[in-house]
Structure 1
């Protein structure tokens, strides 16, 4: 009789624990706190969408209803940046907490260094699943060894069935990155939007392009995808114990460059009972700060090798600044229209300095003994004849970078201050521009000397570059 009672009691306890997967008590292998003390993490990442192309960021015509609702439920950040306005480098910052030069993915389609830690192994060590669902675009697999990887369907759509199955059955704390292929092109030729529906962004100088009607359609389609994910979160009772982040990897209008429209990203955080609903945060932050914030929220140690800083206190209502300066890079090699034209950026609270290291006014000093390499260096500078060596902007008075103050003596102090910060950062990052004259980056996808529909190469330079002409890197 005693054995029967014990058996029935065991079944009752098991049933109570499994009825709601959030009530399962597991202990961290390193710490004694319960799973309930640590949140789950959802990070939804859109692809190629300007910060201003959201209702909650000021566009009255675009349909981003689910993002807008998320902003009402949480905190909207206005000064959140990527350090590089392109796909793989943006993602690599989020996953490693390091700037592009340090993690190694400082041009598109490049892997990070094999010896670094990422969100995967750091959170796995704390008892978390770390899942990627959707667009990958990071390498190598040894660094990004996801607990589960659910590929996009037809390289386009989120794998909803696999995501839902995972959320329905997960029994441990988790971090899931849901990485959309939208609104990145291709853009549909048929759209419910007309050219008259397109909101003119304040930094857009030319005519509204017809393709933006397809861009708006892709935004709408992605908004629908986000709605499905948010419904899953609620369906499986995951809202209250989860930090849900929405962001885009960079802006399409400033892709590849260092202007605000490329580097400044939308960033929204919902965390019930912790983050104040319908709040706005103006703190200067960067994608490198995501990983340390996750680690602090998970009660884990933050490695000293990480460049970023946790902004957990900001989520809890503290308005203190995290950084005095943030930094960025632009690398136009290994992209479709590839050119030798590297740039670096330092931004403080108000002023921003950009330095273009192969601008026309300095390109002659970049030439060396290799005649073929010199030709590609000259092609790079000649492709951007109107971009000066230095650019300085007062972002308070000129948020869309229309007036370059670099040659104005009234701002010499601001320029010198940012110049020193930039130089110190480049040295700390072991930036190759500190020691190399004007290096060529070994291509993985778009060679400088091979013509394509995007890249025009003079006949006499086709196929003229060799392995020894490129800088020696980690891949």
Structure 2
């Protein structure tokens, strides 16, 4: 009997120790930040649309556009009402998602340009944590040494539509056969133009806002907008196909995020119609269905969030912060301020008109460094250079040197309050904090009056301001007059 009781006692002790081991393992997992179910870490999918306004979704209040798949995600997950990118252009916007750094710091602050070659991106950071990192669709980032995808699938041609489709077959095959945790970016080419050709479009089928209300009676605008809406619908069809694959092959321990890289109505600006983005997250094991967050989050926060979910943490040089606590239902401040950059060079309508922006939940401050009212102090005394400085200022003659908006009362930035005496302290505080941020970013602009940099890539690459583009003509007397000494050269471009 004593032997029998001794065996039972040892078995009980063993069971207690075993339970303790499980408890310690769970505690360790929490300390590491991993939200794995058992030993399986969550898969992460980020679906990115191209050039779509935050105002053009059913879940964001537009009842005239067809977005049932995005609306469904909002019902099943969390809708963010204050999500931002730092630049309303394709390449700079995407570079933030993949690096956790604003465009000025990561180096890609003009369209079609490269990230600094010394930067580590999501491919390395998540790879070190045991994740496969995949790009399915449009890239628009470089160099390849920074973005070393484990797998990368190009968009695929499809008949009777204006843009290539996401690679659905490759995505399905991967989801069906994946055997390790992964982070997949599905990057659509929709609704970016070229848009569908819609017959007999009507203004009453389009939702208008203060920034485009005057265009209701413009037939070409209505036709373009109708084609844009139809392209949104086509992208929603793609998204529905992806969600069906996710629900078929993956578990509930999957974080799925939908966003669009920037707004098309505010492209190339620092207005909210360009920088504010749709952002919807679904994660059945973590996120409460139908929840909403008005906390300020930013594209630079995405990589730090993914790292924490995977059991790692952001590096000190990243600009972003993890918003995992928001996904877990904790209403905490992630960012007091978010920032924006405007660089009009290397686009078809290239002009010298750089801007910077700072915004909190209520107020927004913009500095337009080459506004017409200050252009004289930016002149260099070199006629060929000053031609382009003046040209940029006159191209945006209606944009003042300083702008200040109360975003609660004026979300479409129609009433500039920069000269209101009672808001002077707020303007000065925001301005000071913005320039402090610019300094930390290594910005090529400063608060010192004078020369406005004309940026260009190193070597003998394109990017010439003194040449014609399909939408911009330069007088023959000014063509090819800018020398290397007239530019601020960005070697890594």
| Same fold per superposition (TM over 0.5) | yes
Stretch moving more, 433-442 or 147-156: 433-442
Distance 1:125 1:113 in 2: 20
User: Which residue of the partner structure matches residue 229 of structure 1?
Assistant: 242
User: Which residue of the partner structure matches residue 129 of structure 2?
Assistant: 126
1:295-444, aligned counterparts within 5 Å? Answer: 295-434=307-446, 437-442=451-456
The question of whether the paired residues in 1 share the 8 Å contact of 2:123 and 2:149 is answered with yes
Shift of 1:366: 1.1
Deviations along 1:262-316, whole A, 9 cap, x unmatched? 1110000000021010111000111000000000011113210100000000000
User: Which residue of the partner structure matches residue 289 of structure 1?
Assistant: 301
Stretch moving more, 429-438 or 138-147: 429-438
Shift of 1:190: 3.3
Shift of 1:205: 3.9
| Equivalent of 1:215 in 197, 219, 228 | 228
Q: Does structure 1 residue 464 correspond to structure 2 residue 481?
A: yes
Task: Detail structure 1 runs of 4+ shifted over 4 Å in the superposition.
Answer: 31-35, 443-446
Unaligned 5+ residue runs, structure 2?
A: 1-28, 158-162
Deviations along 1:79-117, whole A, 9 cap, x unmatched? 000110110011001000001100001111110000011
User: Which residue of the partner structure matches residue 249 of structure 1?
Assistant: 261
The question of whether the paired residues in 1 share the 8 Å contact of 2:456 and 2:463 is answered with no
Q: Does structure 1 residue 144 correspond to structure 2 residue 147?
A: yes
| Equivalent of 2:83 in 51, 73, 80 | 80
Distance 1:385 1:203 in 2: 18
User: Which residue of the partner structure matches residue 212 of structure 2?
Assistant: 204
Q: Does structure 1 residue 280 correspond to structure 2 residue 297?
A: no
Tell me the secondary structure at the aligned position of residue 432 of structure 2.
helix
Tell me the secondary structure at the aligned position of residue 477 of structure 2.
helix
Distance 1:452 1:123 in 2: 40
Q: 1:60 to 1:32 in 2, by over 3 A?
A: closer
Distance 1:232 1:324 in 2: 38
The question of whether the paired residues in 2 share the 8 Å contact of 1:239 and 1:272 is answered with no
The question of whether the paired residues in 2 share the 8 Å contact of 1:192 and 1:217 is answered with no
Shift of 1:191: 5.5
Deviations along 1:396-426, whole A, 9 cap, x unmatched? 1111101101011110011011011001001
Distance 1:203 1:369 in 2: 38
Distance 2:269 2:462 in 1: 19
| Equivalent of 2:196 in 170, 188, 191 | 188
Q: Could you tell me the TM-score, scaled by structure 2's length? A: 0.87
User: Which residue of the partner structure matches residue 181 of structure 2?
Assistant: 173
| Equivalent of 1:64 in 67, 87, 96 | 67
Shift of 1:167: 1.1
User: Which residue of the partner structure matches residue 268 of structure 1?
Assistant: 280
Q: Larger radius of gyration, structure 1 or 2?
A: 2
Tell me the secondary structure at the aligned position of residue 65 of structure 2.
coil
Distance 1:346 1:36 in 2: 42
| Equivalent of 1:112 in 115, 135, 150 | 115
Stretch moving more, 215-224 or 188-197: 188-197
The question of whether the paired residues in 2 share the 8 Å contact of 1:284 and 1:323 is answered with yes
Shift of 1:200: 1.2
User: For the aligned residues, what is the CA RMSD?
Assistant: 1.8
Q: Could you tell me the TM-score, scaled by structure 1's length? A: 0.90
Distance 2:53 2:251 in 1: 27
The question of whether the paired residues in 2 share the 8 Å contact of 1:338 and 1:446 is answered with no
1:94-113, aligned counterparts within 5 Å? Answer: 94-113=97-116
The question of whether the paired residues in 2 share the 8 Å contact of 1:77 and 1:280 is answered with yes
Distance 1:191 1:88 in 2: 33
The question of whether the paired residues in 2 share the 8 Å contact of 1:336 and 1:446 is answered with no
Tell me the secondary structure at the aligned position of residue 361 of structure 1.
helix
The question of whether the paired residues in 1 share the 8 Å contact of 2:33 and 2:311 is answered with no
Unaligned 5+ residue runs, structure 1?
A: 1-27
Tell me the secondary structure at the aligned position of residue 362 of structure 1.
helix
Deviations along 1:140-177, whole A, 9 cap, x unmatched? 00000100010011362111111111111111000000
The question of whether the paired residues in 2 share the 8 Å contact of 1:52 and 1:201 is answered with no
Distance 1:416 1:374 in 2: 30
Deviations along 1:317-342, whole A, 9 cap, x unmatched? 11111111111111111111100100
Matched residue count = 445
